Each structure stands twice: as C-alpha cells, then as structure tokens.
Amino acid sequence: MTELDLPDNPALPQLFQLPDAQLLMWQQLFDPKTSRQLLAHLVQLPWQKPAIWMFGRMLPIPRQQVWMGDPHCSYRYSGVLFSPEPWTPILLQVTSMVSQLTGHPFNCVLLNRYDGGGEHMGWHSDDEPELGESPVIASLSLGQSRRFDLRHKDLGCQLQLTLADGDLLLMAGECQRFWQHALPKQARAEGTRYNLTFRYIAADRRNCEV
C-alpha cells in the first residue's frame, strides 16, 4: 500500500480562544479503515528510545520516537542532534494533506509512540532555534485517546484537551513563545498512542554538525 484514502473535504475546525495563541482542532479526520492503515504503517517504522539530557543526566526518553523529513532537517533536542529518516510515501502524503488543510508548509515530522499510560512527555515548548521565530506546529494523534495539557507561561491559565484517534491540533500564532504543553501520564490509558508533530525548518536554519 503506497497511498491512503485521505479525506478531501473535512469538517471545519474548532477554534479555541486563548490569549497569545491560535489553536485550532479538526476532529476525527480519518474513517476507521484509513486510520487502521495508517497505524499499520506507523508500527513498521524504526522506533527508538534515545537518551537525552533530562534533570542533569542522560536518560532514555519515556516514549519512542522517529524523526523524519527533508534531508536538511536535522534537529537538536535536549543536547542531541537527530538526522532525519527519509520520507515514506505514506507519510509524505499525510504531510501534504496536513499542509493543505492548515495552510502552513511542513517539511519534517517528529513521530512519538506511547506504549501505555505510563509513557508521557513533560512540559515544554517547541521553540528550538531551527524552527524559527513563531513556529507553527500541527499535531496529529492516532490510536489511544490521551489527555493533552497547555499552560500559559505568565498568566497561569491552563487548558486540558483530549486528543483522540484522527484528531489534528494546530498550534499557531505565538503559542510556542507564551505557552507550554505536555502529555501527562494517564494510568487508565492502556493502549498505544501515536502522535505526529509536523514542523518546518527553513533550509538556511539547518543545524551544523559541530
């Protein structure tokens, strides 16, 4: 299978009115068959649990990941430089659909895999220098539903969302400058969840291997 049957006319997104951020969510983008096909593709990717700097030590991340994108899209994350896996035709197709739907270009994707509710991602912003001044991040969830939290860095307001199979969340505007987000542990969420965060790295912002 090299092509998915992707929706060409999805419903309009929900808009969240937040200070200092533009947040849009398209719910349940895929029919069950397409979602199963995409999951079957994701399972086959070369998942890794690299060690990164956390709490002053090199520790394995509490999830698995794959970094994929155009050849220049190296990405430095918590002290480690990741070189991109080449695009698979299916993920290139999904990326192009996400770009078309959101109106933003994307040329790389961080794929995360959470095997059960103990796997998680701590509070952070996607504000690495290679992503530019105001990064636009599109986040596609598949599989197990999980809670997703956002908090404003100065105002103290919080938002809790549930991200379910096929949901696409767009974090735009100044979201990465003023807000942090996290995928907390969730004891009863036993199934595997995949999340794809689409990003854009300009060719002149590429990382140097020094």
Ligand X SMILES: O=C(O)CCC(=O)C(=O)O
Residues contributing to the site for Mn ion (CB under 5 A):
126
Q: Pick from 74, 95, 139, 186: which binds ligand X (CB under 6 A)? A: 139
Facing residues of 154 across strands?
A: none
- CA 105, distance to chain mean position in Å, is 14
Minimum CB distance to Mn ion smaller for 94 or for 183: 183
Look-up of token digits 């030590």: 57
CA-to-CA distance for 100 and 167, rounded, in angstroms? Answer: 16
Lay out the site mask for ligand X across 157-196 (x = CB under 6 A, - = otherwise).
------x-----------------x-x-----------x-
Minimum CB distance to Mn ion smaller for 74 or for 176: 176
Shortest distance, position 145 Cβ to Mn ion, whole Å: 18
The total number of residues written for the chain in this structure = 210
Shortest distance, position 70 Cβ to ligand X, whole Å: 18
Annotate 163-190 with DSSP letters as a single string.
E-TT-EEEEETTHHHHEEEEE---TT--
CA-to-CA distance for 129 and 74, rounded, in angstroms? Answer: 12
CB atoms closer than 10 angstroms to residue 193: 24
Residue 139 interface partner, choices ligand X, Mn ion, none, CB cut-off 5-8 Å depending on type: ligand X
Q: Does 102 bind ligand X (CB under 6 A)?
A: no
Look-up of token digits 């854009």: 200
Do 141 and 164 meet the contact criterion of CB atoms below 8 Å apart? yes
Minimum CB distance to Mn ion smaller for 6 or for 198: 198
Minimum CB distance to ligand X smaller for 90 or for 171: 171
Burial class, 177, CB count within 10 angstroms (exposed 0-12 / middle 13-18 / buried 19+): middle
User: Judged by CB under 6 A, how many residues of this single chain contact ligand X?
Assistant: 11
The one-letter amino acid code at 173 reads: G
Lay out the site mask for ligand X across 29-48 (x = CB under 6 A, - = otherwise).
--------------------
Query: In Å, how far are 64, 68, 110 from 47, measured between CA atoms?
Result: 6, 11, 11
Residue nearest to ligand X (CB): 195
Q: Does 113 bind ligand X (CB under 6 A)?
A: no
Q: Pick from 4, 121, 138, 201: which binds ligand X (CB under 6 A)? A: 121
| Contact set with ligand X (CB under 6 A) | 110, 112, 121, 126, 139, 148, 163, 181, 183, 195, 197
